[in-house]
Structure 1
């Protein structure tokens, strides 16, 4: 986002905002929309305009358009409806234009001077930690006469907590559960985590499904100060005799209730009841009730099949694999996804990597010193850069250890950056902030109380550099609190099929050991704040997206365990975190209902047994599970494998307890 040239002096806001407009045969209104976007006190950095095969002179208008903002016009071969158009535009905004925030609207939406400025300000000031900010900010939608438009009105989130209400009120808004694509400002990281809208919805309820998916586990607000005008022909809701579009309303709502995980089960019951009442009003208000019943019947019938994949719907009009329309049908440049680097061996050997290490008040000065020594000074392949994220205030002794570590790293000739956060925002937020500071594509994770073996980076980094893996970890030694005794070896699966299979049951990677491709991590939205399972959610999304995830069998990290660590893995708090994790995995589609039920019972029960039983079960599991990797070509090392680990371990007690290991 940037200030308009007429807005006067001021600091340029940091989020990169990309506006997405979808148009079809509404040239007069499109002119108003584009004028409103460009006339704001602040304006987006980029506009993506998707032309849904218009035939009213829109293509000619766009050919001759002299616009004050950078504009990327994507011309589709066919009219794919609002759902298809927004799927294309959002993909373009995320994959090509590297958006931090995506601002979507139809071509009958008129932004006003303060619309974008107010929305971005509310999003930025909602919380210091980006991961605590809203998944989206919805504008206040009015009709042409200034009345609130009933088609786009939002109600307060059902079951909202006092904290959610207070945070929304602090920025002048109301906490909500859903929004419409009539001026919706969305967090791009959250969007990358959940994927794209469903193009097969064509029109209606695609925004309801997508926005509720975004806000399933995140806050969302509507903001009265951010106003847009919705230039619809009539003033009313969808019960105002929608005609043939009633078919889309019925089919798509039923898809939301039966095919999507955007709503919790109890929410589906409430929304289904409200939908039934709306459909009844539509029937009563219609002048052609026979037609309404016909559309209802057709919608119910077609909802029995699942929505088609986006690739199938967009075939011939837009290619998601290159993020562009096929050659000859669009002025948009193709952009390819993550591929093997194509660099020769010599170039890869000289490509650097970043060590990313968060530090928080629970760490110790001596632990940090040993972590830095083992991950920097003692490595046979040292990092090219170190990024330390100090997650909130720390004591004077730990602060001095940070400064001492920085001096030692600089003396070794290695670049170092330190980012100090004003408050402790949790592991996911600290790592996401740190990732933005990493100069290199390859990033190695390390905790500030664990130690790496000297050959860790030399073993793992090359397989990420050359594209064999997008994330790779290793086994690790579990140490006692004093680091004087090895208690056990946390072993791992190494074969690609074994990793995918085990990922539905437990975390497939040991987080303190992992080296990853930061571009691939960013493409799926980075770390999500799932208490105790930030990394698990990330690996699940990477696997779903088709990225290569692997392990080597040899232990390369010494992980601090001990009785305190075992205590944090059990109890009611750990059981609650386990339930939250399983909800996330189920909502993302990574596991089905049967696996969800199994995990809740088995893994949840594991959290509630006495510590001695929990330790015994864990050790028995390690002793009984294992396999030989038969896919030697898949990774740099192979051998007997077994286990996984928690997200942050003893480094941060708040983050433990959601993994049956």
Structure 2
């Protein structure tokens, strides 16, 4: 059996329903769908999910007594899970109907422990923006890619239960709990890979593109990948100290602004508006040096994925 874990907060009704329906319509039927509401005061969302649970016995719905945050909520879900396999699902994404079936077959046929897949990025209204063209599948390439960032997209994870048990779930690394988990899995000797096909539609909201925690995420990622390159698991206290020494409200705002520009560049490229692409690129360079370094990491990820 596959245990699908999803934590929900304050997603719009239609977006949440699309996410839930995409799991219930999977071609693989042997699953349990563990949904945790991390907003105990959100009775409207709770009613929607309770109605789903009444209609489909595969849903196990829980309401956190207080807001726990994603990391603690997922760890709670892991303790509740009964399946041989664990799959992740975000409450604003869409899994293609054959996702779980294809991932289970790929993992079993190739002896992997934790895998992801390619994604199609979509707008809030569901319109397609662009797709991830290439993900590393070879173990050696993944080992190299992880020096620069995560190459197993969290919303696409499918893994053996023992991976999550041996690593004791997620650690509290702000905005990087997934990357930290993958790095620890690699260092622990688990076999990682990706299915080289699009199995998830990842929804990009305006809020996610400009959120203020992007710079903190970048700093945490910088530290934990640095530790990984040295062959060790990041020390959380040292990671916090590293981030706190470099945190700056001004830098965070400029980093978020650069992220918006970067996404505009991706749209410019898709629409073949090359003058606007150059314009936004120059603006980005003079907005945030740290974001330029993040782009370099993207480039190195891409180079090592091929």
In which range does the TM-score fall when normalised by the shorter chain?
A: 0.7 to 0.9
2:6 to 321, 338, 357: 357
C-alpha distance in 1 between matches for 2:230 and 2:255? 22
Offset of 1:517 from its aligned partner? 1.1
2:23 to 344, 367, 375: 375
C-alpha distance in 2 between matches for 1:563 and 1:487? 13
1:489 to 118, 121, 131: 131
SS of aligned partner of 1:610: helix
Check conservation: 1:530, 1:581, Cα contact below 8 A.
no
TM-score, normalisation: structure 1: 0.36
Check conservation: 2:106, 2:195, Cα contact below 8 A.
no
- Partner residue, 2:282: none
Check conservation: 2:2, 2:32, Cα contact below 8 A.
yes
- Partner residue, 1:528: 171
1:434 to 65, 77, 83: 77
Q: Any idea what the Cα deviations from partners look like across 1:544-601, whole Å, max 9, x if unmatched?
A: 1110111012111111104322112xx5x42233223333444xx31349xx9xxx99
Check conservation: 1:441, 1:518, Cα contact below 8 A.
yes
SS of aligned partner of 2:36: strand
- Partner residue, 1:230: none
Gaps of 5+ in 2: 235-242, 270-294
Offset of 1:615 from its aligned partner? 2.3
In the alignment, structure 1 residue 576 sits paired with structure 2 residue 216: yes
- Partner residue, 2:112: 469
Distance 1:435 1:466, change over 3 A: farther
Offset of 1:385 from its aligned partner? 1.4
In the alignment, structure 1 residue 422 sits paired with structure 2 residue 65: yes
Offset of 1:623 from its aligned partner? 9.3
In the alignment, structure 1 residue 449 sits paired with structure 2 residue 87: no
In the alignment, structure 1 residue 397 sits paired with structure 2 residue 44: yes
- Partner residue, 1:384: 31
Distance 1:444 1:526, change over 3 A: same
Offset of 1:535 from its aligned partner? 0.7
C-alpha distance in 2 between matches for 1:489 and 1:512? 14
- Partner residue, 2:255: 607
Aligned Cα root-mean-square deviation (Å): 3.0
Distance 1:624 1:541, change over 3 A: closer
In the alignment, structure 1 residue 563 sits paired with structure 2 residue 211: no
- Partner residue, 2:228: 590
Distance 1:618 1:529, change over 3 A: farther
Q: Any idea what the Cα deviations from partners look like across 1:608-628, whole Å, max 9, x if unmatched?
A: 553453226667878997579
TM-score, normalisation: structure 2: 0.75
Larger-gyration structure (1/2): 1
Query: Would you identify which runs of 4 or more consecutive aligned residues in structure 1 move more than 6 Å?
Result: 617-625
C-alpha distance in 1 between matches for 2:258 and 2:129? 19
Higher helix fraction: Structure 1 or Structure 2? 2
Higher relative contact order (CA 8 A, sep 6+): 2
Offset of 1:495 from its aligned partner? 1.9
